[in-house]
Amino acid sequence: MRWTLLLVRDDGKLLKITWLRSFIFIFFIVLFPVSFISAIYFYNFITDENKRLSSDINTLNQEIKILKNEKDILMAKVVLTESKGNHSKKYTKDPFSTSLITMSGLLDVNENIDFGFSKEAIPKKEIEIEKKEDKTPNIIIDNFSVSYEKRKKNLKVNFNIKKEETIDKKLTIYCFVMLNAENKTIIIPNVDLIDEKPSKVNTGKRLSLNKDNHVTFKVKAQSGYKDFKSATVFLFDKEENLIFEKKMAVH
């Protein structure tokens, strides 16, 4: 037995099978690209979402590491602070400050008591601390003067630097002058001060110090030298160590 499917329209006419095949064929042709495009879209969407989640996870891991490091640093500071506190408490009590209370039957003051200290371990004289040998030559500042050129509006500082002893080897130094008034201070050359001393030594006036040296500084100023009551000369060596400092009155 064989079954046959007949399609009949409302007007009683048979629907041709060729038209049905064409309809089904067109439907599948349209369905395939739509499905393909939808699949690509969802694939890209899922891929981007996975990348975003992976990036968020990496960011969270980095933040966790940073927080752990900060926690370790804070714990180390706490431990260090506690150890310093315990160390200071341990040595606050002076073993020699305890007074001996004599009571009948407890302690005989004539009895020889051994406290566990050797007599040789306690020196009778104070130990002298060795002083570091000062290799800086003796320096003298003289003929210090401050003048004002009204026409050029220049504040001019002159002085001589002398070494008491004769040394063949030249000493390279950096020189600064600080002028002090009641309401202002001028540092020549201009540089920031730290603890009332020049901070950047290499910006100072570089000199090769001989036995006798004449030094001149000039700086623009609106007022004369009479405002300044005192001056300080700073000398630094090549290693930026302060080797000389002298404060003097400005006349």
- Structural domain for 38, as ranges: 11-94
Number of domains in the chain: 2
Instruction: Give yes or no: residues 219 and 144 share one domain.
Output: yes
Which residue's entry shows tokens 């095949």?
Answer: 21
Q: Is residue 115 part of a domain?
A: no
Instruction: Give yes or no: residues 235 and 159 share one domain.
Output: yes
Per-residue pLDDT reduced to its tens digit, 186-233? 899 999 988 889 988 988 999 888 777 889 998 887 766 677 889 999
Q: What is the mean predicted confidence (pLDDT) over 142-170?
A: 81
Q: Which residues pair with 205 in a beta bridge?
A: 175
Give the burial class of 148: count Cβ atoms within 10 A of its Cβ; 0-12 exposed, 13-18 middle, 19 or more buried: middle
Position 165 scores a pLDDT of 64
Instruction: Give yes or no: residues 87 and 153 share one domain.
Output: no
**pLDDT of 83 higher than 60:** yes
Q: Is residue 61 part of a domain?
A: yes
Position 178 scores a pLDDT of 92
Position 132 scores a pLDDT of 38
* Distance separating alpha carbons of residues 171 and 135, to the nearest angstrom: 12
Given 64, 79, 94, the domain boundary residue is 94
**pLDDT of 166 higher than 60:** no
Position 86 scores a pLDDT of 63
Rounded to 5°, angle at Cα 199 from 193 and 204: 105
Q: Is residue 38 part of a domain?
A: yes
**What pTM was estimated for this model as a whole?**
0.44
Q: Is residue 117 part of a domain?
A: no
Instruction: Give yes or no: residues 219 and 163 share one domain.
Output: yes
Per-residue pLDDT reduced to its tens digit, 5-18? 666 777 777 666 56
Per-residue pLDDT reduced to its tens digit, 100-145? 444 444 444 444 444 444 444 444 444 343 333 344 567 888 889 8
Position 52 scores a pLDDT of 86
Q: Is residue 164 part of a domain?
A: yes
Give the percent of the chain with pLDDT over 90.
12
Position 30 scores a pLDDT of 84
Q: Is residue 111 part of a domain?
A: no
Position 87 scores a pLDDT of 56
Mean pLDDT of all residues in the chain? 75
Instruction: Give yes or no: residues 84 and 18 share one domain.
Output: yes
Instruction: Give yes or no: residues 154 and 226 share one domain.
Output: yes
> Which DSSP string corresponds to 162-198?
EESS--SS-EEEEEEEEEEESS-EEEES---EETTEE
Cα→Cα distances 8→15, 18, 19, Å? 6, 14, 13
Position 177 scores a pLDDT of 94
Instruction: Give yes or no: residues 90 and 148 share one domain.
Output: no
Q: Is residue 1 part of a domain?
A: no
SS3 64: helix
CATH number for the domain harbouring residue 147 = 2.60.40
Q: Which pLDDT band, with edges at 50, 70 and 90, does 175 fall under?
A: very high
Position 80 scores a pLDDT of 83
Instruction: Give yes or no: residues 157 and 71 share one domain.
Output: no
Position 122 scores a pLDDT of 42
Instruction: Give yes or no: residues 89 and 151 share one domain.
Output: no
Q: Is residue 228 part of a domain?
A: yes
- pLDDT higher at 188 or 84: 188
Instruction: Give yes or no: residues 20 and 87 share one domain.
Output: yes
